Amino acid sequence: MSAKPASSEVLRNAMVDRLAADHAAKGLTLHPEVEAAMRAVPRELYVPGVPLEEAYENTAVITKRLPSGENVSSVSAPFLIAEMLGQAMGALGGLKGRHVLEIGSGGYNASLLAELVGTAGSVTTVDIDPEVADRVAACLKTAGYHDVTVVCADAEHPIEPGRGYDLIIVTAGAWDIPPAWREQLTEGGVLVVPLRTFGTTRSWALRRVGDRLVSHSHRQCGFVPVQGAGAHQIRCIDLAEGVHLRLDEGEQIDADAVKGVLEQPRREAWAGLSLPPATRLHDLSLWHATRLREHAVVLTAQEEAIASGIVAPSWQHGTSATVHNGTLAYRTLRWTDRRFDLGAYAHGPDAQAAAERMVENMRAWVEAGCPTPALEVLPACTPDGDLPDGTVLDKRHSRLVVSFIPG
Protein backbone atom coordinates (compact mmCIF):
# COMPACT_ATOMS: atom_id res chain seq x y z
CA MET A 1 0.00 0.00 0.00
CA SER A 2 1.45 3.39 -0.96
CA ALA A 3 1.80 6.07 1.74
CA LYS A 4 -0.77 8.85 1.81
CA PRO A 5 0.74 12.10 0.40
CA ALA A 6 1.48 14.73 3.04
CA SER A 7 -1.10 17.51 3.28
CA SER A 8 -0.40 21.20 2.70
CA GLU A 9 -0.56 21.82 6.44
CA VAL A 10 1.91 19.06 7.30
CA LEU A 11 4.38 20.23 4.63
CA ARG A 12 3.95 23.86 5.68
CA ASN A 13 4.66 23.11 9.33
CA ALA A 14 7.68 21.01 8.38
CA MET A 15 9.01 23.90 6.26
CA VAL A 16 8.57 26.37 9.12
CA ASP A 17 10.31 23.97 11.52
CA ARG A 18 13.25 23.85 9.10
CA LEU A 19 13.23 27.67 8.86
CA ALA A 20 13.39 27.98 12.64
CA ALA A 21 16.37 25.59 12.70
CA ASP A 22 18.02 27.45 9.81
CA HIS A 23 17.64 30.75 11.68
CA ALA A 24 19.10 29.23 14.86
CA ALA A 25 22.11 27.90 12.92
CA LYS A 26 22.77 31.48 11.74
CA GLY A 27 22.42 32.86 15.27
CA LEU A 28 19.01 34.42 14.45
CA THR A 29 15.54 33.86 15.90
CA LEU A 30 12.53 33.29 13.67
CA HIS A 31 10.19 36.05 14.87
CA PRO A 32 7.14 34.42 16.55
CA GLU A 33 4.63 36.54 14.58
CA VAL A 34 6.42 35.78 11.29
CA GLU A 35 6.41 32.11 12.26
CA ALA A 36 2.66 32.19 12.97
CA ALA A 37 1.97 33.91 9.61
CA MET A 38 4.09 31.33 7.77
CA ARG A 39 2.20 28.50 9.45
CA ALA A 40 -1.07 30.11 8.27
CA VAL A 41 -0.46 31.07 4.60
CA PRO A 42 -0.65 28.28 1.98
CA ARG A 43 2.35 28.96 -0.27
CA GLU A 44 1.08 26.60 -3.00
CA LEU A 45 -1.68 29.09 -3.86
CA TYR A 46 1.00 31.48 -5.21
CA VAL A 47 2.77 28.89 -7.36
CA PRO A 48 -0.11 27.18 -9.19
CA GLY A 49 0.99 24.17 -11.24
CA VAL A 50 4.00 23.48 -9.01
CA PRO A 51 3.85 20.12 -7.13
CA LEU A 52 2.87 20.56 -3.47
CA GLU A 53 6.21 19.24 -2.14
CA GLU A 54 8.11 21.76 -4.28
CA ALA A 55 5.95 24.63 -3.03
CA TYR A 56 7.28 23.87 0.45
CA GLU A 57 10.95 23.59 -0.42
CA ASN A 58 13.11 26.34 1.01
CA THR A 59 13.93 27.76 -2.42
CA ALA A 60 12.63 30.44 -4.78
CA VAL A 61 10.13 29.30 -7.41
CA ILE A 62 10.91 31.00 -10.71
CA THR A 63 7.70 32.35 -12.22
CA LYS A 64 9.10 34.22 -15.22
CA ARG A 65 12.23 33.67 -17.28
CA LEU A 66 13.26 35.67 -20.37
CA PRO A 67 14.16 33.86 -23.62
CA SER A 68 17.80 34.72 -22.75
CA GLY A 69 17.45 32.49 -19.66
CA GLU A 70 17.51 35.41 -17.20
CA ASN A 71 15.12 35.02 -14.24
CA VAL A 72 13.02 38.16 -13.85
CA SER A 73 10.30 37.09 -11.44
CA SER A 74 9.90 34.53 -8.68
CA VAL A 75 8.17 33.71 -5.46
CA SER A 76 11.12 34.28 -3.16
CA ALA A 77 12.77 31.62 -1.00
CA PRO A 78 10.95 31.24 2.35
CA PHE A 79 14.15 31.67 4.42
CA LEU A 80 14.86 35.00 2.74
CA ILE A 81 11.29 36.22 3.18
CA ALA A 82 11.41 35.18 6.86
CA GLU A 83 14.73 36.97 7.42
CA MET A 84 13.56 40.18 5.73
CA LEU A 85 10.24 40.20 7.59
CA GLY A 86 12.25 39.62 10.77
CA GLN A 87 14.40 42.66 9.90
CA ALA A 88 11.23 44.75 9.43
CA MET A 89 9.72 43.50 12.70
CA GLY A 90 12.98 44.17 14.54
CA ALA A 91 13.35 47.71 13.22
CA LEU A 92 9.70 48.71 13.73
CA GLY A 93 9.01 46.68 16.89
CA GLY A 94 6.02 44.93 15.25
CA LEU A 95 3.78 45.43 12.23
CA LYS A 96 0.22 45.42 13.66
CA GLY A 97 -1.73 48.36 12.22
CA ARG A 98 1.19 49.43 9.98
CA HIS A 99 0.91 50.56 6.36
CA VAL A 100 3.19 48.66 4.04
CA LEU A 101 4.34 48.99 0.44
CA GLU A 102 5.90 45.89 -1.10
CA ILE A 103 7.98 46.51 -4.24
CA GLY A 104 8.09 43.39 -6.42
CA SER A 105 5.08 41.09 -6.20
CA GLY A 106 4.72 37.35 -5.84
CA GLY A 107 1.61 37.24 -3.67
CA TYR A 108 3.12 35.05 -0.93
CA ASN A 109 5.02 37.81 0.88
CA ALA A 110 2.09 40.22 0.47
CA SER A 111 -0.24 37.75 2.18
CA LEU A 112 2.26 37.21 5.02
CA LEU A 113 2.40 40.99 5.40
CA ALA A 114 -1.41 41.12 5.44
CA GLU A 115 -1.39 38.62 8.32
CA LEU A 116 1.21 40.70 10.16
CA VAL A 117 -0.44 44.14 9.78
CA GLY A 118 -3.95 42.82 10.61
CA THR A 119 -7.19 44.56 9.71
CA ALA A 120 -6.06 47.96 11.08
CA GLY A 121 -3.09 48.08 8.68
CA SER A 122 -2.78 47.95 4.90
CA VAL A 123 -0.64 46.28 2.23
CA THR A 124 -0.01 47.59 -1.27
CA THR A 125 2.13 45.50 -3.61
CA VAL A 126 3.55 46.88 -6.85
CA ASP A 127 5.10 45.11 -9.81
CA ILE A 128 6.45 46.57 -13.03
CA ASP A 129 5.33 43.57 -15.07
CA PRO A 130 1.60 43.49 -15.97
CA GLU A 131 1.66 39.69 -16.36
CA VAL A 132 3.03 39.34 -12.80
CA ALA A 133 0.61 41.91 -11.35
CA ASP A 134 -2.39 40.14 -12.95
CA ARG A 135 -1.24 36.71 -11.76
CA VAL A 136 -0.63 37.97 -8.23
CA ALA A 137 -4.01 39.74 -8.06
CA ALA A 138 -5.74 36.50 -9.10
CA CYS A 139 -3.78 34.38 -6.58
CA LEU A 140 -4.47 36.80 -3.71
CA LYS A 141 -8.18 36.70 -4.56
CA THR A 142 -8.21 32.88 -4.58
CA ALA A 143 -6.39 32.86 -1.23
CA GLY A 144 -8.94 35.30 0.23
CA TYR A 145 -6.64 38.32 0.72
CA HIS A 146 -9.12 40.79 -0.79
CA ASP A 147 -7.69 43.84 1.03
CA VAL A 148 -4.23 43.73 -0.55
CA THR A 149 -3.96 46.42 -3.25
CA VAL A 150 -2.05 45.31 -6.36
CA VAL A 151 -0.58 48.07 -8.56
CA CYS A 152 1.27 47.70 -11.87
CA ALA A 153 3.94 50.43 -12.09
CA ASP A 154 7.67 51.10 -12.04
CA ALA A 155 8.31 51.59 -8.31
CA GLU A 156 11.18 53.97 -9.09
CA HIS A 157 8.41 56.61 -8.87
CA PRO A 158 5.81 57.31 -6.14
CA ILE A 159 3.00 54.72 -6.14
CA GLU A 160 0.11 56.45 -4.36
CA PRO A 161 1.24 60.12 -4.37
CA GLY A 162 0.84 61.86 -1.01
CA ARG A 163 0.63 58.56 0.88
CA GLY A 164 3.19 57.62 3.58
CA TYR A 165 4.17 54.04 4.53
CA ASP A 166 5.62 52.76 7.80
CA LEU A 167 7.43 50.03 5.88
CA ILE A 168 8.63 49.71 2.31
CA ILE A 169 9.98 46.25 1.58
CA VAL A 170 11.78 45.83 -1.73
CA THR A 171 11.94 42.28 -3.09
CA ALA A 172 14.11 42.88 -6.17
CA GLY A 173 17.85 43.59 -6.20
CA ALA A 174 18.43 47.37 -6.18
CA TRP A 175 21.56 49.20 -7.20
CA ASP A 176 20.47 52.56 -5.79
CA ILE A 177 17.78 54.12 -3.59
CA PRO A 178 15.60 56.46 -5.64
CA PRO A 179 14.22 59.54 -3.81
CA ALA A 180 10.64 58.17 -3.99
CA TRP A 181 11.50 55.32 -1.61
CA ARG A 182 12.72 57.69 1.11
CA GLU A 183 10.01 60.28 0.48
CA GLN A 184 7.16 57.73 0.74
CA LEU A 185 8.36 56.64 4.20
CA THR A 186 6.87 58.21 7.30
CA GLU A 187 9.45 59.77 9.68
CA GLY A 188 10.94 56.79 11.55
CA GLY A 189 9.57 54.46 8.87
CA VAL A 190 11.71 51.58 7.62
CA LEU A 191 12.97 50.57 4.19
CA VAL A 192 14.07 46.94 3.84
CA VAL A 193 16.02 46.68 0.60
CA PRO A 194 18.41 44.22 -1.07
CA LEU A 195 21.04 46.76 -2.08
CA ARG A 196 24.18 46.24 -4.09
CA THR A 197 27.28 47.81 -2.57
CA PHE A 198 30.82 47.09 -3.73
CA GLY A 199 29.85 44.04 -5.76
CA THR A 200 27.66 42.18 -3.27
CA THR A 201 24.00 42.41 -2.29
CA ARG A 202 22.70 42.48 1.24
CA SER A 203 19.27 43.18 2.64
CA TRP A 204 19.50 46.37 4.72
CA ALA A 205 16.83 47.54 7.13
CA LEU A 206 17.17 51.34 7.01
CA ARG A 207 15.26 53.76 9.24
CA ARG A 208 14.28 57.21 7.93
CA VAL A 209 15.71 60.04 10.00
CA GLY A 210 14.89 63.28 8.16
CA ASP A 211 16.51 63.03 4.74
CA ARG A 212 18.83 60.20 5.83
CA LEU A 213 18.36 56.46 6.03
CA VAL A 214 20.30 54.80 8.84
CA SER A 215 20.91 51.05 9.03
CA HIS A 216 19.40 48.89 11.74
CA SER A 217 20.36 45.42 10.46
CA HIS A 218 21.62 43.61 7.39
CA ARG A 219 21.61 40.09 5.93
CA GLN A 220 23.35 38.49 3.01
CA CYS A 221 20.94 37.81 0.13
CA GLY A 222 20.42 37.54 -3.63
CA PHE A 223 17.48 38.67 -5.78
CA VAL A 224 16.32 39.08 -9.38
CA PRO A 225 17.35 42.60 -10.43
CA VAL A 226 15.26 45.77 -10.38
CA GLN A 227 13.97 46.58 -13.88
CA GLY A 228 12.82 49.86 -15.38
CA ALA A 229 14.37 53.26 -14.67
CA GLY A 230 16.43 51.86 -11.75
CA ALA A 231 17.95 48.96 -13.73
CA HIS A 232 21.73 48.61 -13.57
CA GLN A 233 24.39 46.86 -15.60
CA ILE A 234 26.64 44.12 -14.28
CA ARG A 235 29.61 43.26 -16.50
CA CYS A 236 31.45 39.94 -16.40
CA ILE A 237 35.03 39.46 -17.53
CA ASP A 238 35.98 35.86 -18.39
CA LEU A 239 39.23 34.70 -16.78
CA ALA A 240 38.89 31.05 -17.82
CA GLU A 241 36.11 28.59 -18.63
CA GLY A 242 33.59 29.07 -15.76
CA VAL A 243 35.63 31.74 -13.93
CA HIS A 244 34.59 35.40 -14.07
CA LEU A 245 35.23 38.76 -12.52
CA ARG A 246 31.93 40.52 -11.80
CA LEU A 247 31.97 44.29 -12.13
CA ASP A 248 29.24 46.65 -10.98
CA GLU A 249 28.08 49.61 -13.02
CA GLY A 250 30.84 52.23 -13.03
CA GLU A 251 33.64 49.78 -12.07
CA GLN A 252 36.47 49.58 -14.59
CA ILE A 253 39.33 47.20 -15.03
CA ASP A 254 41.49 46.51 -18.04
CA ALA A 255 40.20 43.12 -19.28
CA ASP A 256 43.27 42.66 -21.52
CA ALA A 257 45.60 43.04 -18.53
CA VAL A 258 44.12 39.94 -16.84
CA LYS A 259 43.78 37.79 -19.97
CA GLY A 260 45.42 34.42 -19.25
CA VAL A 261 46.41 35.51 -15.72
CA LEU A 262 45.29 32.18 -14.19
CA GLU A 263 47.83 30.38 -16.40
CA GLN A 264 50.64 32.13 -14.54
CA PRO A 265 52.10 30.39 -11.44
CA ARG A 266 50.02 30.59 -8.27
CA ARG A 267 51.44 32.18 -5.13
CA GLU A 268 49.77 32.03 -1.74
CA ALA A 269 49.73 33.59 1.71
CA TRP A 270 47.88 32.52 4.88
CA ALA A 271 46.67 34.52 7.86
CA GLY A 272 47.41 31.74 10.39
CA LEU A 273 43.95 32.01 12.00
CA SER A 274 41.56 29.43 13.44
CA LEU A 275 38.05 30.80 12.92
CA PRO A 276 34.68 29.23 13.83
CA PRO A 277 32.29 28.27 10.97
CA ALA A 278 29.82 31.04 11.94
CA THR A 279 32.37 33.78 11.05
CA ARG A 280 30.51 36.22 8.78
CA LEU A 281 32.74 36.33 5.74
CA HIS A 282 30.28 38.58 3.88
CA ASP A 283 31.14 41.28 6.45
CA LEU A 284 34.81 40.71 5.62
CA SER A 285 33.97 41.09 1.91
CA LEU A 286 32.62 44.59 2.51
CA TRP A 287 35.60 45.43 4.75
CA HIS A 288 37.89 44.24 1.99
CA ALA A 289 36.10 46.28 -0.70
CA THR A 290 36.15 49.48 1.37
CA ARG A 291 39.83 49.08 2.30
CA LEU A 292 41.28 47.98 -1.06
CA ARG A 293 38.83 50.18 -2.87
CA GLU A 294 40.11 50.92 -6.35
CA HIS A 295 41.49 47.42 -6.94
CA ALA A 296 38.58 45.46 -5.43
CA VAL A 297 36.42 43.19 -7.63
CA VAL A 298 34.38 40.03 -7.11
CA LEU A 299 35.36 36.62 -8.49
CA THR A 300 32.76 33.94 -9.28
CA ALA A 301 33.40 30.37 -10.37
CA GLN A 302 31.34 27.42 -11.52
CA GLU A 303 31.66 24.11 -9.70
CA GLU A 304 33.42 22.44 -12.66
CA ALA A 305 36.12 25.15 -12.65
CA ILE A 306 36.71 24.65 -8.91
CA ALA A 307 36.75 20.86 -9.29
CA SER A 308 39.34 21.15 -12.07
CA GLY A 309 41.62 23.10 -9.71
CA ILE A 310 41.86 26.30 -11.81
CA VAL A 311 40.63 28.36 -8.85
CA ALA A 312 39.78 27.74 -5.18
CA PRO A 313 37.72 30.73 -4.02
CA SER A 314 36.26 30.88 -0.50
CA TRP A 315 32.72 31.12 -1.97
CA GLN A 316 31.92 30.25 -5.57
CA HIS A 317 29.08 32.81 -5.90
CA GLY A 318 31.19 35.86 -5.05
CA THR A 319 34.62 36.05 -3.47
CA SER A 320 36.65 39.18 -2.74
CA ALA A 321 39.43 39.71 -5.24
CA THR A 322 41.84 42.45 -6.33
CA VAL A 323 43.23 43.30 -9.72
CA HIS A 324 46.25 45.58 -9.91
CA ASN A 325 48.81 45.98 -12.71
CA GLY A 326 47.89 42.63 -14.28
CA THR A 327 47.99 40.71 -10.97
CA LEU A 328 44.91 38.94 -9.64
CA ALA A 329 44.53 37.97 -5.96
CA TYR A 330 41.47 36.36 -4.36
CA ARG A 331 40.38 35.02 -1.00
CA THR A 332 40.52 31.33 -0.20
CA LEU A 333 40.26 29.27 2.98
CA ARG A 334 41.25 25.89 4.41
CA TRP A 335 39.61 23.80 7.13
CA THR A 336 41.21 21.98 10.04
CA ASP A 337 39.08 20.33 12.74
CA ARG A 338 35.91 22.30 11.88
CA ARG A 339 37.73 25.64 12.05
CA PHE A 340 39.23 27.52 9.16
CA ASP A 341 42.11 29.76 8.19
CA LEU A 342 41.90 32.58 5.67
CA GLY A 343 44.32 32.88 2.80
CA ALA A 344 44.86 34.45 -0.59
CA TYR A 345 45.92 32.97 -3.91
CA ALA A 346 47.44 35.25 -6.52
CA HIS A 347 48.66 35.05 -10.11
CA GLY A 348 50.62 37.60 -12.11
CA PRO A 349 53.79 39.70 -12.00
CA ASP A 350 53.31 40.86 -8.38
CA ALA A 351 51.55 37.73 -7.08
CA GLN A 352 53.35 37.12 -3.76
CA ALA A 353 53.01 40.73 -2.58
CA ALA A 354 49.36 40.89 -3.69
CA ALA A 355 48.50 37.71 -1.75
CA GLU A 356 50.26 39.05 1.35
CA ARG A 357 48.50 42.43 1.11
CA MET A 358 45.15 40.71 0.96
CA VAL A 359 45.93 38.48 3.93
CA GLU A 360 47.13 41.51 5.92
CA ASN A 361 43.75 43.10 5.28
CA MET A 362 41.91 39.99 6.53
CA ARG A 363 44.08 39.85 9.67
CA ALA A 364 43.26 43.49 10.37
CA TRP A 365 39.52 42.64 10.24
CA VAL A 366 39.93 39.75 12.67
CA GLU A 367 42.17 41.82 14.99
CA ALA A 368 39.46 44.52 15.00
CA GLY A 369 37.01 41.90 16.35
CA CYS A 370 35.35 40.94 13.00
CA PRO A 371 33.42 44.25 12.83
CA THR A 372 30.07 44.36 11.08
CA PRO A 373 29.18 47.10 8.57
CA ALA A 374 26.74 49.96 9.08
CA LEU A 375 25.25 52.06 6.29
CA GLU A 376 23.93 55.59 5.98
CA VAL A 377 22.17 56.71 2.80
CA LEU A 378 22.05 60.43 2.00
CA PRO A 379 20.64 62.37 -0.95
CA ALA A 380 23.03 62.73 -3.91
CA CYS A 381 23.21 66.50 -3.32
CA THR A 382 24.72 66.13 0.21
CA PRO A 383 28.01 68.09 0.40
CA ASP A 384 31.15 66.18 1.47
CA GLY A 385 31.31 68.19 4.71
CA ASP A 386 27.90 66.85 5.81
CA LEU A 387 28.77 63.17 5.34
CA PRO A 388 29.38 60.94 8.36
CA ASP A 389 32.74 59.14 8.71
CA GLY A 390 33.17 56.11 6.48
CA THR A 391 33.78 54.98 2.91
CA VAL A 392 31.63 56.86 0.41
CA LEU A 393 30.02 55.16 -2.56
CA ASP A 394 28.26 57.54 -4.93
CA LYS A 395 25.25 56.32 -6.87
CA ARG A 396 22.88 58.14 -9.22
CA HIS A 397 20.43 59.27 -6.52
CA SER A 398 22.26 58.77 -3.28
CA ARG A 399 25.54 58.85 -1.42
CA LEU A 400 26.14 55.67 0.57
CA VAL A 401 28.51 55.77 3.52
CA VAL A 402 29.75 52.43 4.90
CA SER A 403 31.43 52.30 8.30
CA PHE A 404 32.28 49.41 10.65
CA ILE A 405 30.96 48.85 14.16
CA PRO A 406 33.78 47.46 16.33
CA GLY A 407 33.18 43.78 17.20
- Residues forming contacts to ligand SAM in the complex (CB under 6 A) are 72-76, 102-109, 126-129, 132, 154-156, 171-172, 223-224, 226-228, 230
Pure H helices in 273-350: 281-291, 303-307
**Burial of 369 from C-beta contacts in 10 A (0-12 / 13-18 / 19+):** exposed
**b/e for 131-141, b at 16 or more Cβ within 10 A?**
ebbebbbebbe
Smallest distance, Å, CB 131 to ligand SAM?
Answer: 9
CA 364, CA 288: separation in Å to the nearest integer? 10
Nearer to ligand SAM by Cβ, of 86 and 348: the residue is: 86
Smallest distance, Å, CB 340 to ligand SAM?
Answer: 32
Nearer to ligand SAM by Cβ, of 35 and 176: the residue is: 176
Element (H, E) at 141: helix 130-143
CA 181, CA 174: separation in Å to the nearest integer? 11
Smallest distance, Å, CB 399 to ligand SAM?
Answer: 21
Q: Residue 372: how many CA atoms within 13 Å on its side-chain side? A: 11
Return the residue nearest ligand SAM (CB atom).
106
Nearer to ligand SAM by Cβ, of 73 and 200: the residue is: 73
- Pick from 107, 2, 5, 1: nearest CA to 52: 5
Nearer to ligand SAM by Cβ, of 88 and 132: the residue is: 132
Catalytic residue among 8, 68, 73, 76: 76
Smallest distance, Å, CB 36 to ligand SAM?
Answer: 18
DSSP-derived 3-state class of residue 402: strand
Active site residue 76: yes
* Local structure of residue 283 (DSSP, 8 states): H
**Strand residues in 287-351 grouped as ranges (E):** 296-301, 319-324, 327-336, 339-347
Nearer to ligand SAM by Cβ, of 105 and 215: the residue is: 105
CA 130, CA 108: separation in Å to the nearest integer? 17
Smallest distance, Å, CB 103 to ligand SAM?
Answer: 5
Smallest distance, Å, CB 333 to ligand SAM?
Answer: 30
- Pick from 358, 373, 363: nearest CA to 406: 373
Nearer to ligand SAM by Cβ, of 332 and 398: the residue is: 398
Show which residues are catalytic: 76
